[in-house]
Structure 1
Amino acid sequence: MEDAEDKSEAGQKDDAGAKSTDTMDIDASSKSTVKAKKGKIIKRRGKKSSIVFPKFVLLVAANLLVPIALYIFGTGFFPYKPLLPGLAVYGESEYGFPPAAPFDRVVFMVVDALRSDFVYSPRSGFEYTQSLIRNGVALPFTAHATSPTVTMPRIKAITTGSIPSFLDVILNIDEGDETSSLASQDTWLAQMKAKNSGKLLLYGDDTWLKLFPSFFDRADGTSSFFVADFTEVDNNVTRHIPGELDNDDWNTMVLHFLGLDHIGHKGGPRSTNMLPKQIEMDGIVKQIYTAIESNAHLQSTLLILLGDHGMNDAGNHGGSAPGETSPALVFISPKLANLRRSFQAPLDFQDDFKYYSVVEQSDLAPTLAALLGFPTPRNNLGAFIQDFLPFWSSDTDRLQILMRNAEQILAIVTATFGTEMFHSSTGSEPCSQTGTEVEELACRWRRLKDAATNMGTKQVESNEAWTVQMLEWLRDAQGLMSSMASNYDIPRLVIGHIAAILATLLSLVAAYQNVGVISTAAVPLTLITSAYGVMMFASSYVEEEHHFWYYTTTTWLAYLSWRGFNGTSKSRVGHLAAVLVASVTLRIIKGWNQTGQKFAGNPDIVKLILNPQPGLLWTLISIAYLWLHRELLQGFDGFPSSITVAGSTGLILVAFTFKLAFTNEDAPELVAGFARSLLDISGDVSLFIRAQAVFVGLAVAASGVIYLILAKKRTSTRVSAVETLHHLYTLLAITQSRATNVPLFLLFDILFKFVAAQSLTLTELTITSLLLQYASFFALGGTNAISSIDLSSAYNGVRDFDVVAVGILTFVSNWAAPVYWATATNVLLVRKSKLVGEKAVFGRHVTLLTVFTAASVAFVMAACAALRTHLFIWTVFSPKYLYCAAWTIGQHLVVNVGLGGVLYWLGRY
């Protein structure tokens, strides 16, 4: 898509586009050309004035329809599952009264992100816990956690025994949300409360308080998102333990420690802080177990040590990598010695993180029901863990435990598939070999039910065979119900998809009217959009999406470079040098962070070069801040020199010292050599005050630039005001980025200067901006997995949780590079607009971006709907849908349209 202005502009052979419009000199012929253009534009507008309003309406309608489509489709794709209301009660049973429970109280110790190897491997700091396993008073498992592996849905699975909604990924971030409450659902906590045998206590992650409002009689919650805190967040839990162990008025104590998870987010599983934290948690286990042994009122107490999820090699979680789905689970009590089970500990490191027996996290609910003496929660899909059956010596008791568990799951199965096939009399009719999975399950149930009725006349060997068959039936029923993806609202999926397609069509019509006649200029954007859309239907391509953007960006810049050899006023040698520098720069950017899923742990520049050499890292970081200092000095040289130097220098020093102090808390091993000396000089000031100083300084500087723009005064004689705002944003971006990613912004500036030096048409500039936005997102380590969301800088300058402030900071942290290219693009758009004397440049740019955005949303929706029964629907395609929503609403609407529109207007003011 290319209009008359673009065609004539492409033929110009000056490099004015690479210079600031404030100092641009246009020769007489250029001025006359621009005047002639203006005359044509005015004339053309006069002829087509009737369509100016409709094309604006079409563009607005398309951009409004896209978020509406996302909402409608999302509410059909991520619905809340209907649940059976009320609490389960022990009903009349042909098997007699429920068997006696061996325990009367529980200490539920959750260590967030406690991956199995953290407890069971030789590198573990849980030496005391391993000694309990060897002595037979601790029973170890690996508890499989289904995706999404984030805290809220995992707690739901652990307490209800059911499969939580994927939408809980979003609710997990909003600490103010109360719609996800479990107050009205049947959980083992509700059952313990209903027993009325003691109080419920909670110390730790306040997610429990949100899920169970008014449940706990004594509680002290801590925020789970202050990930820079490794110490106080756990000390706040530990300080309550001694006193509560002396009390005898409780039956449930939930402890949720967050420090280990925070260390993972900040430094990964191999962080130097990881082993000391494991030793600290092992000490808590020893403290509690010693109290259980020595205090009479605690002798029937069960201690459960577990992780809600694990972590991957980067220290994050949310996806389905083996490390993320394999948390440890250990049952601890002196009474377990009666089971006469002991295990070797530690075990050799396991690549798949599967140590000992593997159970589902949902199996906790029915197992606790039998061990603590309450009915299995009504919505449970878990199966009783058979290792605990020896607690009951009576075959009748064992039979009853399994039958009650099976009948509870059967109620859910029959509510889904009907009751007839499960309860009809079949006599001796054999099961069909060609029946469906449900029919086979029903047939096996009838046989097990009949056998249980006659169990009293059978031999012990037959009872054992029946037990094995019943445990297999429970697993198969669990697998069947768990594999049912969701109760999708198909009409909403259809309506949402239609809305996205309509938005795409509206944007195409607007593009035709806004940009001009369809020509060869439309081919690259069409190919990019089509290839991207097709790629969404393959899980491997979604996981490795960065390769698409890296390859496409490289190819596109190579095309621009080749085209630049023709028709430019520059020497071919100079242009070749620029091309080589840009090519090397792009290659370095692509190798900076290894991303995706398959090769996430492979070597990259950060792992191989920067982490082992912190001196080199801080040299590059210092150069980045000095480069920004130079840019700000130029950007504010319209002010008195004393104000310019003092203000720019002060702002850079505050930002640099904050980065030093933050990295010292985040990854202290990276602060070494001269960086450590500089940190000592900067004094002992809190991170909160340092971050606030940076944000206030940026706000004051940006306000000053905007004021001078509105007052029609110059901020600089060398660079435009919008460029100064762009550099101020760059300072914000590196403030919100990890230290190892700060040098990337130096490389981005090299690419920016290369792009600015090219004589690009509007369509080419838009395509370049689009490609660099996506490629840079992945270059900073982004992926399509929930686990790659970086929360390390989400609380910079924030004391308490605020969903707006934390949301903005989280977005800037993860989309720092795409926003950089959005602001950089507007610098070039303002230059182009002033060069050609046309104000509608930004509108045409947004129109082309809207075409891609609306089409990509439609493609992602189509892939999610078509593959809704796919094995990877919740691990690959659902996270991609959430990322698509973030790109659409956050990057496109808020940044490209909203922020970009403000910058463009200020640049044209």
Structure 2
Amino acid sequence: MAKGSRASSIKANHSALKSKVFGPIETARTERLSAKLLALASAPRPSAQKDTGDVTMDVEDAAAPAPLKSALKVTKQADDMEVDKDTTQAPPSSKPSSGRIEKKRSARSRSSGIVFPKYKNGKKVGTKSKKSGFFPYKPFLPGLAEYEALGFGLGAPPKAPFDKVIFMVVDALRSDFVFSNESAFTFTQSLISNGAAMPYTAHATSPTITMPRVKAITTGSIPSFLDVILNFAESDTTSSLAAQDTWLAQMKAKGSGKLVMYGDDTWLKLFPDTFDRADGTSSFFVADFTEVDNNVTRHVPEELRNDDWNTMVLHYLGMDHIGHKAGPRSPNMIPKQKEMDGIVQQMYTAIESQKHLQNTLLVLCGDHGMNDAGNHGGSAPGETSPALVFMSPKFRKIFAGNESPTTAKDEFQFYDTVEQSDIAPTLAGLLGFPVPRNNLGNFIDDFLPMWRSVDDQCHLLVSNAKQILNVVTAAYPASLFGADSSQDCQNPSSDIERLGCDWKLISAQLENRGQIRPAHTDPLFYDILIWLRHAQDIMGSTASDYNMSKLLAGQVIALLSIVLAVFTVDLVFRQSYLFVLIVLLYSAMMFGSSYVEEEHNFWYWAASGWIASLVFKTARSSLTTSFSCVVVLAGLRITRRWNQTGQKFAGEPDIARTFLAEHTTFLWALVFSMYMWNCYSLSSTGFPHLPRSIAKGVSQLLAVMAAAFKVAFTHEDAPELLDWTANKAAELTTGFSLVTRARGVFIGIALALAQTIGAEYLAAVRRHRFASTRTIHNLLTLFLITQSRATNIPLLMIFSAQFHLLHNLDLNLIEVTITSLIFQYMSFFAFGGTNSISSVDLSSAYNGVSGYNIVAVGILTFVSNWTGPIFWTSATTIMLLRLRASGEKNVLKNYIALQTVFAATSLVFIMVACTELRTHLFIWTVFSPKYLYSMAWSIGQHLGMNIGLGSLLFWLGTY
């Protein structure tokens, strides 16, 4: 409902803006441009000779005057669809006597999906056969861009003010980490104050993860959502940008120096054979946030002394790792900010003092931000608002400076907001190379005063516009933009026709601009800048074409699996009407963005309603069993408040992050109680083929090793969660690395599993099959505890108690299946899971791993995020074994068939939803991530756990 109410409010505000503000503005603008077109068409063409006095101006005159800035400000503010009051004209700004430009800051659109008021948001997406599926790669123009004759009397490209660039990326550098009063970037803030730095909030479109963000920064285009998957597969090479035009390729083509890179090896994968010197580090080894940055910094002093490079890329990962481990408020965050600010100071000081660096531009930026949990990948304001700062001593001659530190105008919105794709064309102008061919970004007009000549400023904007025009005409008919086009420009029938008409008006002004005095170039600059942003918006909204045949083929295959599963079930579906109701209700939810975002509520209510129905059912036969259901219901109430998830109440106080963080002694009492529970379960009923004394010794050893690792891990990961006792325990167990400790736990569990399975398999008479299955369940639980955050471990104790109580109920197969289904999904959200990429927890992905191994890290990541569902898969197998022991036949087959019906049906409906809603506003921020999660549920949880692990445990219990 939250998303629905927001959308309604946005539509209302949009209508109000259009009727009160933009209707009159657009009417006046159309009349003005039409009159100008007629006047210019009848005017004589300018001579080739130009009066240089008319095109050369002082710095004060080179800046866009107040009328242009005021007009642009109105248009920029129009992008924010939450504005619901009339826009008033900004008064002209005065120029400072020092010759610097006094800039009034305004906010541009934060969402690339927002459409300018005069353009309708309803373009249908094509179905070209060269696309593949729902997540296709975007087409691109091959080859390297070259300077081309622009015409319109514009000569050679303007001379660039810089010939070197230091591009420093700090992973997850959220805007407030640099610009706010709480920031430790004190030196950077001093540069902003004295005018040596230009600050921005760079809007990063979803998905906010490293690979697609680096693609946007270097190409200026909008990456494919498929990069979410490729971002996790570090060995993947299909996402390489070797064949695409980027500003790195342009700098290499200049031949003025070498390219060097130190940091995240994503750059090496995206740009093979591009860098002359490089040292890459893995971006997924989140356990380390010190050495990973030291390995970058150690190269900086030497490279600053070298004069053989023109591009130096530095990508620091430590801040992102701190966020993943402990969130943005980690005690390690401020020291890390000071460290990064010190590196900025070191490089800026070198630029000031060393002659070979005097024409060097220093850029500091984040590839994305982070949310309050320290994660990213979604579209929350904190995730889409990284900082961006351009720094050079040359800027002091142009800019008067900005207040720094400062406060945000909106959530994480500091100073002007630009698109991340705007970086590429801006670097092209500042460093002197053609704009990359597939760029959709706009030159940041604040830097136009770096050129004194109006001709040079006009050249920069026109070259950017013609480059984007090439991209537009690759997707739409070029005839729409020709001077001889016959379309009606008084009444354009589509957005693209309106864009073509506007380009013809701009072309006419450019053809006759020789008659326009420099003081009157503002309307022309204004029109070009607005045209650039309109083109950017239209091309950005055509995210991808879809191969409908492949989409339909996937849906048909999933539908076929439903039919096969239904025919496999021996039960009559009349006996399982509640199961069918759950399947249909859940499937229908896939068409609502708010329901997808708040899915956890469905499963919490389903769990409560289901257990409540069991209370009434069992009350007729036994008050004891009815009381057991009441206890399970009470556990669900606690579970529901353990982690606040979704969008509406994300960040609200909960048990894990609020209560337990403040009551650490109580937290560790619960944690150690879970280890004792697991130890007691293993020693009392586990290892049936071992003597009791040895079984107890093995159980205690495993519990102590696992508890010692968890204490040591928390001491490194989140020391604020340790109480005095746990802190002392961590100090007493020093001497072994976390990797060694984790491997010791994993090896111990593996040996115990091997002994249990091997002893039962070799036994002459298999009398302990059920006890062996319970042993495996308890060992699996110990492994899940190891892969869980300390604050979530007590949840497994609640689940264990609920399983014990439910196991004693006389449930039939349908009831066991419904219980398993509901509790698998409920537990996923209880552990803090959502349908957003940003909730993927990587904190335990490297337990026992010393380097990046895609298989090991992938398994550990899945286990740590699906801990609850995996627990209930194992628990359900024990309940199924009890049903089989009571004489019921085809237990496993019917259970798997029913689970497959749910998995396949939900997958079909999310496929249909994504296909039908492929032009929806939230297709890339809500439905696409949900589709990725559905694949993880279907392949990882259903196929891997319910069928794979469940069948294995069932076979071991019946063999």
Q: TM-score, normalised by structure 1?
A: 0.89
Q: CA distance change for structure 1 residues 641 and 510 in 2, over 3 Å: closer, same or farther? A: closer
Give, as a single letter, the amino acid of the residue that structure 1 aligns with 2:757: I
Tell me which residue corresponds to 1:338: 397
Check whether the contact 2:769–2:956 (CA below 8 A) recurs between aligned residues.
Answer: no
Task: Map residues 573-592 of structure 1 onto 2, 5 A cutoff.
Answer: 574-592=624-642
Task: Map residues 14-33 of structure 1 onto 2, 5 A cutoff.
Answer: none
Which shifted more, 708-717 or 447-456?
Answer: 708-717
Tell me which residue corresponds to 1:400: 459
Deviation, structure 1 residue 264: 0.7
Give, as a single letter, the amino acid of the residue that structure 1 aligns with 2:785: I
Check whether the contact 2:689–2:756 (CA below 8 A) recurs between aligned residues.
Answer: no
Tell me which residue corresponds to 2:682: 632
Check whether the contact 2:689–2:759 (CA below 8 A) recurs between aligned residues.
Answer: no
Tell me which residue corresponds to 2:250: 191
Structure-2 separation of matches of 1:853 and 1:713: 40
Give, as a single letter, the amino acid of the residue that structure 2 aligns with 1:278: Q
Q: Does residue 1:749 correspond to 2:800, yes or no?
A: yes
Check whether the contact 1:319–1:875 (CA below 8 A) recurs between aligned residues.
Answer: yes
Q: Does residue 1:516 correspond to 2:567, yes or no?
A: no
Deviation, structure 1 residue 496: 1.1
Q: Deviations over 1:274-315 (max 9, x none)?
A: 111111111111000000000000000000000000011111
Q: Deviations over 1:124-168 (max 9, x none)?
A: 011110010000000000000000000000000000000000000
Structure-2 separation of matches of 1:287 and 1:764: 66
* Alignment counterpart, residue 853 of structure 1, candidates 903, 927, 949: 903
Give, as a single letter, the amino acid of the residue that structure 2 aligns with 1:85: P
Q: CA distance change for structure 1 residues 518 and 139 in 2, over 3 Å: closer, same or farther? A: closer
Which shifted more, 444-453 or 860-869?
Answer: 444-453
Q: Does residue 1:907 correspond to 2:957, yes or no?
A: yes
Tell me which residue corresponds to 1:243: 302
* Alignment counterpart, residue 148 of structure 2, candidates 86, 91, 105: 91
Give, as a single letter, the amino acid of the residue that structure 1 aligns with 2:753: A
* Alignment counterpart, residue 912 of structure 2, candidates 862, 874, 880: 862
Q: Deviations over 1:750-796 (max 9, x none)?
A: 11012112111101101100000000000000000000001111111
Tell me which residue corresponds to 2:782: 731
Structure-1 separation of matches of 2:627 and 2:683: 28
Tell me which residue corresponds to 1:721: 772
Check whether the contact 1:638–1:714 (CA below 8 A) recurs between aligned residues.
Answer: no
Task: Map residues 391-790 of structure 1 onto 2, 5 A cutoff.
Answer: 391-425=450-484, 431-511=489-569, 515-519=570-574, 521-566=575-620, 568=621, 570=622, 572=623, 574-634=624-684, 635-712=686-763, 720-790=771-841
Structure-2 separation of matches of 1:669 and 1:895: 35
Deviation, structure 1 residue 810: 0.6
Q: CA distance change for structure 1 residues 290 and 554 in 2, over 3 Å: closer, same or farther? A: same
Tell me which residue corresponds to 1:887: 937
Structure-1 separation of matches of 2:146 and 2:335: 44
Structure-2 separation of matches of 1:435 and 1:264: 48
Q: Deviations over 1:812-845 (max 9, x none)?
A: 010011000000000111111112163x211111
Check whether the contact 1:705–1:715 (CA below 8 A) recurs between aligned residues.
Answer: no
Task: Map residues 104-123 of structure 1 onto 2, 5 A cutoff.
Answer: 104-123=163-182
Structure-2 separation of matches of 1:423 and 1:755: 73
Structure-1 separation of matches of 2:663 and 2:770: 36
Structure-2 separation of matches of 1:350 and 1:458: 38
Deviation, structure 1 residue 500: 1.5
- 3-state SS of paired residue (1:843): helix
Check whether the contact 2:625–2:809 (CA below 8 A) recurs between aligned residues.
Answer: no
Check whether the contact 2:134–2:546 (CA below 8 A) recurs between aligned residues.
Answer: yes
Check whether the contact 1:853–1:888 (CA below 8 A) recurs between aligned residues.
Answer: yes
Deviation, structure 1 residue 713: 6.5
Tell me which residue corresponds to 1:66: none
Q: Does residue 1:314 correspond to 2:373, yes or no?
A: yes
Check whether the contact 1:833–1:841 (CA below 8 A) recurs between aligned residues.
Answer: yes
Q: Does residue 1:276 correspond to 2:344, yes or no?
A: no
Tell me which residue corresponds to 2:864: 813
Q: CA distance change for structure 1 residues 837 and 880 in 2, over 3 Å: closer, same or farther? A: closer
Which shifted more, 715-724 or 201-210?
Answer: 715-724
Give, as a single letter, the amino acid of the residue that structure 2 aligns with 1:463: T
Tell me which residue corresponds to 1:81: 138
Deviation, structure 1 residue 717: 7.1
Give, as a single letter, the amino acid of the residue that structure 2 aligns with 1:869: T
Structure-1 separation of matches of 2:294 and 2:523: 49
Deviation, structure 1 residue 646: 2.3
Tell me which residue corresponds to 2:56: none
Deviation, structure 1 residue 339: 1.4
Tell me which residue corresponds to 1:100: 159
The structure whose RCO (Cα within 8 Å, separation 6+) is larger is 1
Give, as a single letter, the amino acid of the residue that structure 2 aligns with 1:329: L
Q: Does residue 1:794 correspond to 2:831, yes or no?
A: no
Check whether the contact 2:407–2:414 (CA below 8 A) recurs between aligned residues.
Answer: no
Deviation, structure 1 residue 118: 0.6
Q: CA distance change for structure 1 residues 349 and 462 in 2, over 3 Å: closer, same or farther? A: closer
Structure-2 separation of matches of 1:141 and 1:837: 67
Task: Map residues 162-177 of structure 1 onto 2, 5 A cutoff.
Answer: 162-177=221-236
Q: CA distance change for structure 1 residues 872 and 236 in 2, over 3 Å: closer, same or farther? A: same
Structure-2 separation of matches of 1:112 and 1:517: 55
Give, as a single letter, the amino acid of the residue that structure 1 aligns with 2:138: K
Check whether the contact 2:917–2:923 (CA below 8 A) recurs between aligned residues.
Answer: yes
Deviation, structure 1 residue 93: 3.4
* Alignment counterpart, residue 927 of structure 2, candidates 853, 877, 898: 877
Structure-2 separation of matches of 1:517 and 1:268: 50
Q: CA distance change for structure 1 residues 709 and 808 in 2, over 3 Å: closer, same or farther? A: same
Structure-1 separation of matches of 2:807 and 2:699: 25
Structure-1 separation of matches of 2:767 and 2:668: 30
Count of matched residue positions in the alignment of Structure 1 and Structure 2? 828
Deviation, structure 1 residue 651: 1.1
Check whether the contact 1:637–1:715 (CA below 8 A) recurs between aligned residues.
Answer: no
Tell me which residue corresponds to 1:64: none
Q: Deviations over 1:74-129 (max 9, x none)?
A: 95000111211110011233211110000000000000000001111000011110
Check whether the contact 2:181–2:405 (CA below 8 A) recurs between aligned residues.
Answer: yes
Deviation, structure 1 residue 683: 2.4
Tell me which residue corresponds to 1:45: none
Identity of aligned residues (%): 56
Q: CA distance change for structure 1 residues 610 and 880 in 2, over 3 Å: closer, same or farther? A: same
* Alignment counterpart, residue 387 of structure 1, candidates 426, 443, 446: 446
Query: Which sections of structure 1, spanning at least 5 residues, go unmatched?
Result: 1-71
Tell me which residue corresponds to 2:183: 124
Check whether the contact 1:715–1:721 (CA below 8 A) recurs between aligned residues.
Answer: no
Check whether the contact 1:485–1:869 (CA below 8 A) recurs between aligned residues.
Answer: no
Check whether the contact 1:118–1:278 (CA below 8 A) recurs between aligned residues.
Answer: yes
Check whether the contact 1:205–1:221 (CA below 8 A) recurs between aligned residues.
Answer: yes
Q: Deviations over 1:641-699 (max 9, x none)?
A: 34212211111111111111111111111122100111122122101100100110110
Give, as a single letter, the amino acid of the residue that structure 2 aligns with 1:780: F
Structure-1 separation of matches of 2:525 and 2:919: 33
Q: Does residue 1:366 correspond to 2:425, yes or no?
A: yes
Which shifted more, 607-616 or 250-259?
Answer: 607-616
Check whether the contact 2:200–2:414 (CA below 8 A) recurs between aligned residues.
Answer: yes
Deviation, structure 1 residue 857: 0.7
CA RMSD of aligned residues (A): 1.7
